[in-house]
Chains A and B, each alone.
Chain A
């Protein structure tokens, strides 16, 4: 057991899985010699060689499309899209191809593929280095979408994604890379995709969230506890499939639900989660479902006041949960 950062957990998992399974290859822009622009893949090319850690040309559709072909032909590609914001040229390959290949071939072909992409804001990345893109993909049957919140989960979910027979999008929050640290066991383990994690039990308000926001919510819960408000936190971990059972359980337990994400409000995961609660647990609610999310502007601006106005923070979560508790 070692304490490591979120980023180190991802790197060490890649290393461990690559040592264990020769079929795993990594490629993407700057992942080789440079070790990735965030250093996630640092040292991996040195250890595994240029055939398994490949610097690709600057072409996202090709990165994903060739990964599909390589997956069908017996490899386990783990391509990296340098920033989630740059995934859109590859949408055709991800949505139209990877997600549909099993279905359209009536089960003949599968695409065991993990696309890693750093996402999220609060890092002065502006419109094109700050986006949360998970909702685009969570809409698509055939894809799985996971977003770890801790180094422990980062490892277990990444290993599970690599072993999965279907395409998995694995989103890593940039602001979590170095700021979030935690204990990570040395041995290999899996966290099943589709299983949420109850981070904290409480009786007044349930906060349902994922990724970096889990950490912010935990901080908010501590503040609120001092005020006598007891907060329960559910970390979804997997955006598709959702853990419906645990979502309904927490909603029924506290009767007050706050859903938090950094992604834009409209059409975000919050809408889906609240629809599930409304359909299956409406009469257990003591207050209308509340959503706290990124505002409906196209993306996050650069200048600090604007960036701060966009970002969902611990303070904003505290304020929203307090309001909900008092309803």
Chain B
């Protein structure tokens, strides 16, 4: 029965909803495996998407994947998976292998970039990607190629000058760009209240003359809807949108961090009750979008994919030291 608030009432096919779930669960499983590899001493560092899967997948799937540009940040594993990076490619990157399509083993893990899927390469200095997304969108406006660009970033990076410059520039020129803030409440250890004197990052939008939207980042469908709307606005020539998705990271900042120093176990447990992978799984089952059998098949496929990716990447060759000198300039 179609009704308000049910998945069936949405303008989304069951296939899309299931793909959303599959990508979120795949990201979580891949993420968990990375931590295992790290604890086993097989991967030096992990940055996690754990807890952010709903916002990442919801937003990515609202775009023309592989055509629109995304400029992700280090937490966006689920986003790049949704955008077409394969688990094998992710693992090649984690383990710094020669065939890592993100960087040929040059960058730290989670520094995404995949040209064939229009994922722009990213550095470690936060907020640099905001201006890049504005620039991609500037080109789209000039070239009239119909593309939208989306930068994603944590709330900590909104304190950077480049966040401000990017939003202002995009607003002045009405660029087709979406600024997606994945607000998990912490910049490593610094809580949002010490980061900014406001409750909502979205409140900054009015200072640039663009809409600012707050959305539940643990609900992939809501994120999908607001991102879709922002993309439509952008394509209509109405300019940028700032989306703030409220979410939480379930793990420390990285495998080198210990979050017990700065947040209570109770707080983490409270958020875990709203684990986006679990709640979305339940919702799909409850509303009969997905059957138990389909779920089991998904779980098996995910397990296989993660095993395959791990095995594949571990066997893949490391970069040849001679490549150190390559790609300093175009030759």
Q: Do chains A and B touch in the complex (CB under 8 A)?
A: yes
Query: Closest residue to A108 on the B side, CB-wise?
Result: B115
Query: CA A289 – CA B140 in complex, angstroms?
Result: 52
Interface residues of B in 152-168 (CB under 8 A from A): 161-162, 164-166, 168
Q: How far is the CB of B141 from chain A (nearest CB, A)?
A: 7
A20 contacts partner chain B, Cβ-Cβ < 8 Å = no
Q: Which residues of B contact A108 (CB under 8 A)?
A: 101, 113-115, 121
Stretch at the interface among A67-75, A242-250, A319-327: A67-75
How near does chain A come to B47, taking the closest CB pair, in angstroms?
16
Stretch of B76-84, B102-110, B245-253, B300-308 that contacts chain A:
B102-110
Bound CA span A188–B106, Å: 39
Provide the bound-state CA to CA distance between A54 and B121, in Å: 26
B182 on the interface (CB 8 Å rule)? Answer: no
Q: Of the 9-residue stretches A58-66, A130-138, A293-301, which lies at the interface with chain B?
A: A58-66
User: How many A residues touch the partner, as a band?
Assistant: 35 or more
Q: Answer whether residue A88 sits at the interface, using C-beta atoms and an 8 A cutoff.
A: no
Any A CB within 8 A of the CB of B10? no
Query: Which of B22-30, B34-42, B131-139, B225-233 has 4 or more CB atoms under 8 Å from chain A?
Result: B131-139
Residue-wise interface mask of A (89-107) relative to B, using a CB-CB cutoff of 8 A (1 in contact, 0 not): 1001100110011111111
Closest to B98 in A: A106
A65 touching B125, Cβ below 8 Å:
no
B143 at interface, CB cutoff 8 A:
yes
Q: How far is the CA of A100 from the CA of B292 in the complex (A)?
A: 48
Which partner residue on chain B sits nearest A99 by CB separation?
Answer: B328
Q: Is B236's beta carbon under 8 Å from chain A?
A: no
A110 on the B face (CB < 8 A): yes
A166 & B128 in contact (Cβ 8 Å cutoff): no
Q: How many A-B pairs fall under 8 Å by CB?
A: 158
Chain A residues positioned under 8 Å from B330 (CB to CB): 102, 110, 164-166
Q: Which residues of A contact B271 (CB under 8 A)?
A: none
Write out, one digit per residue, whether chain A residues 289-318 have a CB within 8 A of any chain B CB (1) or not (0): 000000000000000000000000000000
Which residues of B lie under 8 Å from residue A92 when comparing CB positions? 125, 128, 162
Cα distance A142–B100 in the bound complex, in angstroms: 21
A69, B125: Cβ atoms under 8 Å?
no
Count residues on chain B whose CB falls below 8 Å from chain A CBs: 51
Nearest B residue to A50, CB-CB: B173
Contacts of A102 in B (CB 8 A): 327-330
Asked if B142 contacts A75 (CB within 8 A), the reply is yes
Residue of B nearest to A25 (CB): B142
Residues of chain A with a CB closer than 8 A to B128's CB? 65, 92-93, 96-97
Nearest chain A CB to B314's CB is how many angstroms away?
20
B131 adjacent to A100 (CB under 8 Å): no
Contact pattern, B 251-282, Cβ under 8 Å of A = 1, otherwise 0: 00000000000000000000000000000000
Contacts of A139 in B (CB 8 A): none
> Which B positions have Cβ atoms within 8 angstroms of A?
69, 71, 100-107, 111, 113-115, 120-121, 123, 125, 128, 130-143, 145, 147, 149, 161-162, 164-166, 168-169, 172-173, 323, 326-330
Chain A residues proximal to chain B, CB less than 8 Å = 25, 51-52, 54, 56-57, 59, 61-62, 64-75, 77, 89, 92-93, 96-97, 100-110, 141-142, 144, 164-166
Other than the known A106-B100, A106-B103, A109-B121, what 7 A-B pairs have Cβ atoms closer than 8 Å? A51-B142, A68-B131, A73-B143, A93-B128, A102-B330, A104-B103, A106-B101
Please list the 3 inter-chain residue pairs (A to B) with the smallest Cβ-Cβ separation, ordered nearest first: A69-B135, A65-B131, A106-B104
27 contacts between A and B (CB under 8 A): A25-B142, A52-B142, A57-B169, A59-B161, A59-B164, A59-B169, A61-B162, A62-B166, A65-B128, A66-B132, A67-B135, A68-B135, A69-B136, A70-B136, A72-B139, A73-B69, A73-B136, A73-B138, A73-B143, A75-B139, A93-B162, A103-B328, A104-B111, A105-B113, A107-B326, A109-B120, A166-B330
